[in-house]
Amino acid sequence: MIDIEKLMSDAFQVFLKEAPKHGQAWMNAVRGLSDASALDKKTQSLAYLAVIAALRLDSGILFHVVHAKEAGASREEVISAILVGLPAAGNAVTGALPSAIQAYDSSL
């Protein structure tokens, strides 16, 4: 069993600890949006990785790679999800590759 807190960025852990009402409201919104999605969990996880890579939100890569892996994503699918944004976001998405690959391989 993976300790979910170890996957969260330090900043997100501080957010949840220091602003628990806001954190709970945020998590409720996240769950609600996930439940409303027509995408299956694996596809949704891979799409989310593509978005956070394009936005350079590298602090969320570890958590979301492990989440995608748990949803059944292969290593190659994770890499492809990171790189799907190349045409729109450019080379910036490659910055997420090292941490994504490390996260996938270390959560075996």
List the structure tokens of 19: 């602003």
pLDDT in tens, 32-43: 999 999 999 999
Predicted confidence band of residue 5 (pLDDT cuts 50, 70, 90):
confident
User: In angstroms, rounded to a whole number, what is the distance separating the alpha carbons of residues 83 and 100?
Assistant: 11
82: closest CA among 60, 53, 102, 56?
53
Instruction: Give percent of the chain above pLDDT 90.
Output: 81
User: What sign does the CA torsion over 88, 94, 99, 103 have?
Assistant: positive
* Mean per-residue pLDDT over the chain, rounded: 92
Q: Considering the entire predicted model, what is its pTM?
A: 0.86
- As a residue count, the chain comes to 108
Q: Supply the pLDDT for residue 7.
A: 80
| Structural domain containing residue 69 | 4-106
Which residue would you say has higher pLDDT here, 70 or 4? Answer: 70
- Indicate the number of domains in the chain: 1
Residues near 90 by beta carbon (within 8 Å), at least 6 away in sequence = none
Whichever domain contains 27, its CATH number is 1.20.1290.10
